[in-house]
Amino acid sequence: MKKALFGLGGLAALVSAATFALGLGAAPVAAGEEVVLYKNPQCGCCENYADYLRDNGFEVEVKPTHELSKISTEASIPEDLMGCHTAFLDDYVVSGHVPIEVVDRLLEEKPELIGVTMPGMPLGSPGMGGQKQEPFTIYGIANGEAPSVYAVK
Task: Give 1-47 pLDDT, tens digit per residue.
Answer: 333 333 333 333 333 333 333 333 334 455 568 999 999 998 888 99
Model pLDDT, residue 30: 54
| Closest CA relative to residue 29, chosen from 18, 40, 14, 41 | 18
Taking phi over 0 as left and psi of -120 to 50 as alpha, with beta for the rest, 48 belongs to alpha
Domain extent for 108: 3-152
Output the CA–CA distances (angstroms, integers) from residue 52 to 45, 100, 128, 151, in the order listed.
10, 8, 10, 19
pTM: 0.78
| Closest CA relative to residue 15, chosen from 123, 96, 92 | 92
Number of folded domains that form the chain: 1
Structure confidence by residue, pLDDT tens digits, 80-139: 999 999 999 999 999 999 999 999 999 999 999 999 999 989 999 999 989 999 999 999
Report CA Rg, the chain. Answer: 15
Identify the helix (H) or strand (E) that includes residue 63: strand 59-64
